A = this chain, B = another copy of it.
Amino acid sequence: MPPTGPVDEITLVERLAAIGWKGSRAVLLGPGDDAAVLRGGVAVSTDLMVEGVHFSFDWVTPAEAGFRAGAAALSDMAAMGVEPEALLVSMALPAGDPALGEALQRGVRAAGDRVGAAIAGGDVSRAAGAVVLDVVVVGRARDRVVRRSGAKPGDDLWVSGVVGGAAAAVAAWSQGREPAAAARARFAAPPDRTGLGRSLAARQHASAMIDISDGLVLDARRLAGASRASLRIRLDRVPVDTAAAGDLNQALEGGEDYELMFTAHPKGKARILALGRELSVQLTRIGTVGEGTGVELEDHEGHRQRPGRGGYDHFADSSGGQG
């Protein structure tokens, strides 16, 4: 979905960060990564989900929406290699519908239970229309955190799992169709990559890492930008989810996957593949890091192209679509 607004999400986030951020002794790592890191290795991130923008109750049950919001928030910690300790949940709810709030909360709790993080607090408000869920995750970095900015020319580019399934579900719903069960499941229950992220950080395998929340290409561009490097993605190596029915565009631009993308020195290849087997997570080398900037796509014949500003941009998309 090409952005239609005058300012896209990446630009706005940068502009907001420039306003919010100034040096602080208490903050070791400020805006620009998946989580902030404070003194003492405290990592914290927040993830906002808006009904009608990120999900619809025509698509998923309230418990599924809560689970998805919790899993998405936890994915930010996984992408830093940090162990999550606790969640806070803010929600805006229609007046007179406490059962909805309880179902959402149960869903977030289930996502927290998957990684041993309890819900330690939150806030609740009446909604002015759309239901809003903001899930805060607090974690503790026991090792070096893995930032977006550490990719070096010559590194390999890796991705966990398969991509495009959740976007295929969104595409089906947006067209008034019911998605295939496998695609629906990929949307409703994002994978947990906490263990993978922790191990990549603890074993110092990954030079840079990000979670794929907004699409492989868009998040690759973020990682490339933070690392002041370029990323070349080999299209024939992208592990397209069978639930995406071979749709490479869903895999590249769809977003919603919550898989991890990371870079690593080529000498780590065997150890990374062994880690994948150990954790039963598919890990695929999909490209390389080079000099320069931006993202380049290369097909099986070696033809290269610069992608458009693909990847789903929640902010710029004002076409009325959801997802």
Which residues of chain A have a CB within 8 Å of any CB of chain B? 5-7, 9, 11-13, 15-16, 19-24, 26-27, 29-31, 33, 35-36, 38-40, 42, 44-54, 85-93, 95-96, 98, 101-102, 105-106, 108-109, 112, 116-130, 132, 134, 136, 138, 140, 314-318
Q: Can you list the 6 inter-chain pairs with the closest CB atoms, starting with the nearest?
A: A20-B119, A52-B128, A36-B120, A95-B318, A24-B118, A26-B85
Which residues does chain B contribute within 8 Å of A27, judged by CB atoms? Answer: 85-86, 118, 120
Number of copies: 2
Alpha-carbon gap, A134 to B130, bound state (A): 15
What is the interface of chain A mostly: helix, strand, loop, or mixed?
A: mixed
Shortest distance from the beta carbon of A90 to any chain B beta carbon, whole Å: 4
B12 & A46 in contact (Cβ 8 Å cutoff) = no
Which residues does chain B contribute within 8 Å of A118, judged by CB atoms? Answer: 20-24, 26-27, 30
Residue of B30, B38, B92, B109 touching A48 (CB-CB under 8 A) = B92
Which residues does chain B contribute within 8 Å of A136, judged by CB atoms? Answer: 44, 46, 88, 136
Residue of B33, B88, B116, B134 touching A44 (CB-CB under 8 A) = B88
B105 & A20 in contact (Cβ 8 Å cutoff) = yes
B125 & A54 in contact (Cβ 8 Å cutoff) = yes
A-B contact pairs, 30 of them (CB 8 A): A6-B96, A12-B101, A15-B98, A15-B101, A16-B101, A20-B89, A20-B108, A20-B118, A21-B120, A24-B85, A24-B116, A24-B118, A30-B118, A36-B120, A36-B121, A44-B86, A45-B121, A46-B88, A46-B122, A47-B123, A48-B90, A48-B132, A49-B125, A50-B125, A53-B127, A123-B134, A125-B315, A126-B314, A129-B130, A132-B134
